[in-house]
Amino acid sequence: MEFRTILVPTDLSENSLGAFRAAVSLARRYEGKVHAVFVLDIRADFSSLSLDFLPTIPIEEVQHASREKAKERLEEIFEREVAEDVRGDAAVREGNPFLEIVTHAQERKADLICLTTHGYSGLKHILLGSVAEKILRKAPCAVLALKVEGLRDGPP
């Protein structure tokens, strides 16, 4: 099995760097590409909240600012973590993270999705949900899920 097109979904945290490092290693081995993606989750519905005490800020401005900040951070991480000898790109998408990641993998014809997971279980897993678990179940390709705890000393 060769991994020539590798997708790295990221939450822009330091915890996601292990996935970048593993993806770069595999991309070098198979002369592949690394495609990073961050999904800006804009599904929050605040319509039922009374926020009359706050100044009115157009939601479009907030979303635009969030999108630009995410794009800056993603490009910074991509430039730092993906070596010059590895081709690829970085994209910011908006929507449901799980759906957007799976769709991006399909569009890129990814051979592998390489991601990190916190490894939550029990109540924390129920409350936070697991994007990684949903990706594992529905991905159109192989998935390499790396636990954050195992990445503290460096890449796998």
pLDDT digits (tens, 9 = 90+) for 43-76: 655 555 555 656 666 777 777 888 999 999 999 9
Which domains, and CATH codes, for the chain?
5-151 (3.40.50.620)
Instruction: Give the tokens for residue 78.
Output: 């991509």
What percent of the chain stands above pLDDT 70? 78
What is the model's pLDDT at position 121? 57
The rounded mean pLDDT for the chain is 83
Instruction: Give the tokens for residue 96.
Output: 């449901």
Question: What's the maximum distance between 2 C-alpha atoms anywhere in the chain?
Answer: 57
**DSSP states along the chain:** ----EEEEE--SSGGGHHHHHHHHHHHHHHT-EEEEEEEE------TTS--TTSPP--HHHHHHHHHHHHHHHHHHHHHHHS-TTSEEEEEEEES-HHHHHHHHHHHHT-SEEEEEE----HHHHHHH--HHHHHHHH-SSEEEEEEGGGGTTS--
Order of strands, edge to edge, in the sheet holding 33-40?
Answer: 87-94, 33-40, 5-9, 112-117, 142-147
With contact defined as beta carbons under 8 Å apart, do 50 and 56 qualify?
no
Give the bridge partners for 25, in sequence order.
none
What is the model's pLDDT at position 49? 55
What pTM was computed for the model? Answer: 0.81
